[in-house]
């Protein structure tokens, strides 16, 4: 498997090579190494074990590449095993270190559950607790702190990968686009609440209760004002573009969606910075 992982430089080639010791089950591929090569030269060998039937492994798509942490370099997720009757995937996330040009395993998120892309710079982690109950968590990457931080306000259900959302351009259908925009607005509100509560708690310690409460109310008013501004701006913008009457609704929703996506990225960055604390 060959993949261009960054804007510059030659692509990398990925192979899985079995270890010297055969596994106890001949139907399972077993332990070995993910070998990474550049221009035919091996640059690293990452230990990995496929603890699942050989036929369950897609030879053409056994690695899932995406820029999970938002640094412009492609990271990858690889499955280790499928558990029990539910078929819950247990995966590992390998992140590219742009300074060394090599991958490293993100240990806190790996070998826990199924990892998938969420908001820009964030991942969903679906797993099961000790009692077997389904659990969903969202982690976002804090660049200043160089670590993944759990986002408790986004853990109630799976967060969509907004980079893949189908709500852009005149081809977007009104109903589907509206559903996407409503879901995005809901995520915005969840992030706002967590950001507001976190900042209020911080101000309670740094200043006083009155100031903290006033700040929280100011954030709520600011968000409501932004929603009104967004809707008015999109309505005016679509009319000025002379969009055909039959496409006005979808074009307006698409505009609202794009503005909400930008606002959500801003909230998410502020929340990650808040969780990371002051930079050292």
pLDDT at 276: 62
Instruction: Examine residue 141 and state whether it is found in any structural domain, yes or no.
Output: no
Instruction: Examine residue 54 and state whether it is found in any structural domain, yes or no.
Output: yes
Count other Cβ atoms within 10 Å, centred on residue 98: 12
Under 8 Å between Cβ of 124 and 159: yes
Tell me which of 101, 117, 133 is where a domain ends.
Answer: 117
Q: Which of 114-123, 155-164, 195-204, 265-274 has the lowest mean pLDDT?
A: 155-164
Count other Cβ atoms within 10 Å, centred on residue 46: 18
Under 8 Å between Cβ of 209 and 216: no
Q: Are residues 73 and 178 in the same domain?
A: no
The predicted model gives 178-188 an average pLDDT of 84
Give the residue with greater pLDDT, 130 vs 11: 11
Give the residue with greater pLDDT, 35 vs 117: 35
Cα-based distances in Å from 249 to 170, 188, 254, 262, 267: 10, 22, 9, 20, 27
Under 8 Å between Cβ of 276 and 149: yes
Pairing of strands 88-97, 75-83: antiparallel
The predicted model gives 101-120 an average pLDDT of 90
E-assigned strands of the chain?
2-3, 12-18, 28-38, 41-53, 63-66, 75-83, 88-97, 102-105, 114-117, 122-128, 134-142, 147-150
Q: Are residues 113 and 9 in the same domain?
A: yes
Structural domain including 92 reads: 2-117
| Beta-bridge partner residues of 123 | 117, 139
- Report the C-alpha gap between 107 and 240 in whole angstroms: 51
Helices 248-276 and 209-240 pack at an angle, to 10 degrees, of 150
CA-closest candidate to residue 11, choices 39, 46, 45 = 39
Does pLDDT of 233 surpass 50? yes
Does pLDDT of 214 surpass 80? yes
Number of separate domains in the chain: 2
Does pLDDT of 20 surpass 80? no
Q: Which of 19-33, 123-137, 238-252 has the lowest mean pLDDT?
A: 19-33
Under 8 Å between Cβ of 202 and 274: yes
Does pLDDT of 267 surpass 80? yes
Tell me which of 117, 142, 160 is where a domain ends.
Answer: 117
Torsion of CA 114, 195, 67, 166, to 10 degrees: 80
**CATH code where residue 31 lies:** 2.40.128
Q: CB-based contacts of 95: which residues, under 8 Å, 6+ apart? A: 68, 69, 75, 103, 104, 105, 106
The predicted model gives 5-18 an average pLDDT of 90
DSSP line for 66-96? E-SSSSSS-EEEEEEEEETTTTEEEEEEEEE
Half-sphere exposure of residue 139: CA atoms within 13 angstroms, side-chain side? 22
Instruction: Examine residue 82 and state whether it is found in any structural domain, yes or no.
Output: yes
Does pLDDT of 82 surpass 60? yes
pLDDT at 91: 95
pLDDT at 279: 46
Q: What is the pTM of this model?
A: 0.64
Q: Are residues 26 and 111 in the same domain?
A: yes
> Six-digit token pair at 29?
């591929």
pLDDT at 172: 54
- Report the C-alpha gap between 120 and 162 in whole angstroms: 7
Read off the pLDDT of residues 30-78 as tens digits, 9 standing for 90 and up: 888 999 999 999 999 999 988 888 888 887 889 999 999 988 999 999 9
End-to-end CA distance of the chain: 40
Instruction: Examine residue 161 and state whether it is found in any structural domain, yes or no.
Output: no
- Report the C-alpha gap between 186 and 257 in whole angstroms: 12
Helices (H) and strands (E) in the chain, counts: 3, 12
pLDDT at 35: 96
Instruction: Examine residue 149 and state whether it is found in any structural domain, yes or no.
Output: no
Instruction: Examine residue 248 and state whether it is found in any structural domain, yes or no.
Output: yes
Q: Are residues 106 and 181 in the same domain?
A: no
Instruction: Examine residue 258 and state whether it is found in any structural domain, yes or no.
Output: yes
Instruction: Examine residue 10 and state whether it is found in any structural domain, yes or no.
Output: yes
Tell me which of 68, 83, 117 is where a domain ends.
Answer: 117
């Amino acid at each position: 498997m060959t993949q261009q992982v960054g804007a510059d430089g030659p692509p990398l080639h990925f192979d899985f090579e079995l270890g010297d010791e055969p596994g106890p089950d001949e139907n399972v591929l077993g332990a070995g190494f993910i070998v990474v090569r550049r221009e035919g030269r091996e640059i690293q060998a990452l230990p990995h074990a496929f603890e699942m039937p050989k036929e369950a492994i897609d030879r053409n798509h056994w690695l899932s590449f995406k820029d999970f942490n938002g640094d412009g370099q492609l990271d990858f997720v690889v499955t280790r095993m499928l558990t029990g009757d539910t078929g819950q995937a247990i995966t590992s996330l390998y992140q590219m270190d742009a300074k060394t040009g090599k991958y490293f395993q993100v240990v806190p998120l790996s070998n826990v559950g199924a990892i998938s892309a969420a908001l820009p710079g964030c991942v969903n982690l679906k797993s099961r607790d000790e009692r077997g109950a389904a659990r969903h968590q969202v982690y976002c990457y804090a660049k200043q702190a160089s670590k993944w931080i759990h986002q408790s306000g986004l853990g109630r259900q799976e967060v969509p990968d907004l980079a893949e959302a189908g709500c852009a351009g005149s081809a977007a259908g009104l109903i589907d686009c509206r559903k996407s925009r409503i879901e995005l607005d809901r995520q915005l509100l969840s992030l706002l609440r967590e950001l507001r509560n976190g900042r209020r708690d911080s101000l309670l310690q740094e200043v006083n209760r009155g100031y903290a409460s006033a700040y929280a109310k100011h954030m709520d008013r600011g968000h409501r004002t932004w929603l009104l501004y967004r809707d008015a701006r999109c309505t005016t913008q679509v009319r000025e573009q002379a969009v055909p009457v039959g496409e006005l609704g979808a074009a307006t929703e698409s505009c609202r969606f794009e503005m909400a996506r930008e606002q959500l990225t801003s909230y998410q960055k502020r929340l990650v910075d808040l969780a990371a604390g002051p930079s050292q």
